[in-house]
Structure formats: structure tokens, C-alpha cells
């Protein structure tokens, strides 16, 4: 075999997916099918207040399954929260995890599963393929259209000692089943709809230009971009409109399938650094960084970006190459402003003196490995400075 062909090999990992209104009601049935006897429900107080957690609890009761609940989770899940959840899992004698919520409960649930079957501390598993033992069965129910943790092989956890978000990347943390119910997103406030929607767009852009992309991931990423552009402003403007909500949840799903298999890039490396050190919302960080990353990366993958521009409905063929990147970035910026994301890093209390340390952390993030253009700390610091 020609070993050069090995560089063209790709794999595509997905969970079982049940999509549609009412799918969260199937949690009990699927947990029972996976052999559960006692379930750890991982969520947060906001999801309980919206009523979604109660409906899942009812589903488990109807399947004659006992459960314990863990909801002590921050918006950026901390390492000590994962460890507390793992102790709860063990002390309650659980054998399956159901996560209900956005990226924070789902990432925390993945971390709980890792520690429950592998021992140690959650930060021991930072990086790619560092998990030796399979985690307990995972049934995930997303309630935001953005993180895509319900279908991905990523878990993002805040290391509180180093004040940085770590990426745990492994097929072991891909859920067994994702119950994707677009109706759950109707309780998101407009600012969360906006931030998670831009996160979806960023996932799709970064997966498309990733050095590990493939025709399968391209198909998913391209579809997600078109759906976000066509539906995100409407979802923010009319939160109860199920056409917009359905399309945005599908966009999140497609973007998740893309980035889970193609990985990400410089935007997420920089956002993880920001989120870990400054405890900022992940989606908002991505929203600020994406347009600058497009201009930075464009010279390395112009054909891909031109393809994505077409999916956004942009006509840039008549523009000279040096103007095309700016046109795409300007369109992303216009979308960002339309949905109300207008802040800059300085508005979050970040100062120019912080940028060097932020760049030093971002350069070690595993997401940077698949960025189409190599970046050193000076490049990253310059990008941060552009949005200060």
C-alpha cells in the first residue's frame, strides 16, 4: 500500500440520534434499553426552572428507573464540579448518565463519566485519546442550539488551578444516544440564542477549513452555515417560531458532526484561553474572534472560504482575492451586530497587559493543530489586540 494514501484516511464518528419534537420524552426508554438500573441526571437549575428536567425525570419514572440528580454546575464547568459529580455517581450506585442542558451540563457529564470509570482527576485526561476505559452509557438531551456536545467527541472543562479551559478529545465521550428536541430551545433568552447561534457558525467555519476536513464533514459544515445565516436572526427576533428554532437546532447538529470529526482551529484555541482565564461565555468569545480569524486564515484556503461565502449567499467572484476575505468577515460581523453582539474584549475587563498570557495559553490548545495556517504567540496576540 502506498503510505501516502494514509494521509487521506478519515473516520466519521456519530452517536445514535433521535431528532424531533418530543424526543426528550424517550429518555427513559433508551436508558432502559442501555441496561440502566439507576441514572445520574446531570443538569443545571435553569433547566429545571424551564420544566425540561422534570419531563425527563417523568420519562425515567415511567420506565421504572431510579435516579439521582446533580445540578451544581457553573456556566463554564469547573474541574471540582466534575469531581463532585463523579463522587455523586459512585455514592448513588449509578450505571448510566443522562445530561439535560447546554454545553456546560453536557461537558460536565462527560467529565463525570470519564472519572467514574478511569479514576484520577479530570485534568489528567487533557488532550487527544488520553482516556483508557470506556465511560458509562451517556444519553444527552441538548437544550441550546450551539454547543453540539450531544454529538461530539470533545469535552471542555475549566482547570481552576491554571485558569484555562482544557480540551478532552476522545471517542470515549461521544454519547451513545442524542435526543435532539428543538422545542427545548424555545426557553433560551435572546442573548443565549445569539451566542450559541454564532458558536454554531464558528464550528462550521472552523471544521470546513480544518486540515482534517473531509467530504463528509464538508457536507455537514456547508449545510450548517446556510441554516445559520437564514435562520439565526429570526430565532432571536421570534423566539417561539418553531421553523427558526428547528432549523437552528439542525444547524447545531450538523456543525457538531462536522467539527467533532474535523476538529476546530484558532478561534476555539483563543476562546478557550479567554474563557478559562476570564470566565467569559464561550459563544460570545467565538463571535468576537471569527471574523478576524477568517482574514488571517484566508490566504491558506481561499477556495474553501469562497465556497462558504456562496453558502452564505455572498457574491464575491468579481472581487479581487485580497478583498474576498474582508467581504466574508464583514458579512459575519454584520450578522453578529444584527443579533446584538457588539461588545469588544475591553468591555469584559480585558487589558492589553493580559494579551501576552492569553496568547501563551492559546498556542498550546489542541484545536490549533488543525488550523489551516500556523500561528505563533505573536500572531495570536495580534488577533486579540484587533478585538480589544
Give the Cα-Cα-Cα angle 168, 17, 66 (nearest 5 degrees).
Answer: 80
Q: How far is CA 34 from CA 27, 92, 116, 136, 137, in A?
A: 11, 18, 17, 10, 7
Contacts of 215 (CB under 8 A, 6+ apart): none
What are the backbone dihedrals phi and psi of residue 349, each rounded to the nearest 5 degrees, phi first?
Answer: 85, 15
Name the nearest CA neighbour of 348 among 298, 288, 265, 308: 288
Cα–Cα distance between 168 and 155 in angstroms, integer?
A: 5
Handedness of CA 84, 85, 86, 90 (dihedral sign): positive
Name the burial class of residue 315, with classes exposed (0-12), middle (13-18) and buried (19+) by CB atoms within 10 angstroms of its CB. Answer: exposed
| Domain map (residue ranges) of the chain | 8-185, 189-386
pTM for the whole structure: 0.94
Homologous superfamily assigned to 189-386: Dehydroquinate synthase-like - alpha domain (1.20.1090.10)
Instruction: Judge contact between 217 and 261, C-beta under 8 A.
Output: yes
Ordered alpha helix ranges (H), the chain: 27-33, 45-50, 52-62, 79-91, 103-118, 190-209, 215-237, 242-262, 266-278, 282-297, 302-311, 321-338, 355-362, 377-386
Long-range contacts of 374-378 (CB under 8 A, 24+ apart): 375/266, 375/296
**Identical topology for domains 8-185 and 189-386:** no
Beta-bridge partners for 164: 159
The pLDDT of residue 66 is 97
The pLDDT of residue 388 is 87
The pLDDT of residue 282 is 81
Q: Give domain 8-185's CATH number out of 3.50.50.60, 3.40.50.2300, 3.40.30.10, 3.40.50.1970.
A: 3.40.50.1970
Cα–Cα distance between 200 and 237 in angstroms, integer?
A: 18
The pLDDT of residue 6 is 44
The pLDDT of residue 7 is 56
Q: How far is CA 180 from CA 104, 150, 151, 246, 311, in A?
A: 16, 8, 10, 10, 25
Cα–Cα distance between 153 and 277 in angstroms, integer?
A: 23
Q: How far is CA 349 from CA 322, 342, 353, in A?
A: 33, 15, 11
Cα–Cα distance between 39 and 32 in angstroms, integer?
A: 10
The pLDDT of residue 1 is 39
Q: What is the mean pLDDT of each run of 10 residues along the chain (388 residues)?
A: 53 94 97 97 95 97 97 94 98 98 97 98 96 98 95 95 91 98 96 95 98 95 98 96 98 97 96 84 86 96 97 95 94 96 88 94 93 97 94
The pLDDT of residue 9 is 75
Q: What angle, 0 to 180 degrees and rounded to 10, lies between the N-to-C axes of helices 282-297 and 377-386?
A: 110
**Strand-strand pairing, 164-169 and 127-128:** parallel
The pLDDT of residue 3 is 40
The pLDDT of residue 2 is 41
Could you tell me if residue 22 is left (phi over 0), alpha (psi between -120 and 50 degrees) or otherwise beta?
Answer: left
Cα–Cα distance between 136 and 130 in angstroms, integer?
A: 16
Amino acid at each position: 500500500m502506498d503510505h501516502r494514501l494514509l494521509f487521506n484516511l478519515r473516520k466519521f464518528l456519530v452517536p445514535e440520534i433521535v431528532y424531533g419534537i418530543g424526543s426528550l420524552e424517550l429518555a427513559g426508554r433508551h436508558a432502559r434499553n442501555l441496561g440502566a438500573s439507576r441514572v445520574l441526571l446531570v443538569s443545571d437549575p435553569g433547566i429545571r426552572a424551564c420544566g425540561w428536567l422534570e419531563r425527563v425525570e417523568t420519562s425515567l419514572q415511567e420506565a421504572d428507573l431510579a435516579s439521582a440528580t446533580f445540578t451544581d454546575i457553573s456556566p463554564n464547568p469547573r474541574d471540582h464540579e466534575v469531581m463532585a459529580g463523579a463522587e455523586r455517581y459512585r455514592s448513588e450506585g449509578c450505571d448510566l448518565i443522562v445530561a439535560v442542558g447546554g454545553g456546560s451540563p453536557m461537558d460536565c457529564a462527560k467529565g463525570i463519566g470519564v472519572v467514574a470509570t478511569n479514576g484520577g482527576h479530570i485534568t489528567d485526561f487533557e488532550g487527544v485519546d488520553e482516556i483508557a476505559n470506556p465511560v458509562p452509557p451517556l444519553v444527552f438531551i441538548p437544550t441550546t442550539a450551539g454547543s453540539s456536545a450531544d454529538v461530539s467527541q470533545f469535552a471542555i472543562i475549566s482547570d481552576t488551578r491554571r485558569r484555562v479551559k482544557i480540551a478532552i478529545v476522545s471517542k470515549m465521550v461521544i454519547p451513545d444516544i442524542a435526543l435532539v428536541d428543538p422545542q427545548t430551545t424555545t426557553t433560551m433568552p435572546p442573548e443565549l440564542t445569539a451566542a450559541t447561534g454564532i458558536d454554531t457558525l464558528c464550528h462550521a467555519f472552523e471544521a470546513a477549513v480544518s486540515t482534517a476536513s473531509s467530504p463528509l464533514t464538508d457536507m455537514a459544515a456547508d449545510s450548517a452555515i446556510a441554516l445559520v445565516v437564514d435562520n439565526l436572526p429570526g430565532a432571536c427576533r421570534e423566539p417561539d417560531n418553531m421553523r427558526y428554532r428547528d432549523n437552528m437546532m439542525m444547524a447545531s447538529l450538523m456543525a457538531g458532526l462536522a467539527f467533532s470529526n474535523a476538529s476546530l482551529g484558532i478561534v476555539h484555541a483563543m476562546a478557550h484561553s479567554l474563557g478559562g482565564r476570564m470566565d467569559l461565555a464561550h459563544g460570545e468569545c467565538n463571535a468576537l474572534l471569527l471574523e478576524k480569524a477568517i482574514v488571517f486564515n484566508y490566504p491558506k484556503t481561499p477556495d474553501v472560504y469562497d465556497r462558504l461565502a456562496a453558502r452564505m449567499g455572498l457574491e464575491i467572484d468579481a472581487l479581487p482575492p485580497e478583498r474576498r476575505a474582508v467581504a466574508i468577515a464583514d458579512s459575519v460581523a454584520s450578522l453578529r451586530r444584527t443579533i446584538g453582539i457588539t461588545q469588544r474584549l475591553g468591555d469584559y475587563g480585558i487589558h492589553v497587559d493580559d494579551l501576552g498570557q492569553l496568547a501563551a495559553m492559546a498556542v498550546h490548545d489542541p484545536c490549533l493543530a488543525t488550523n489551516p495556517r500556523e500561528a505563533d504567540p505573536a500572531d495570536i496576540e495580534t488577533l486579540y489586540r484587533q478585538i480589544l
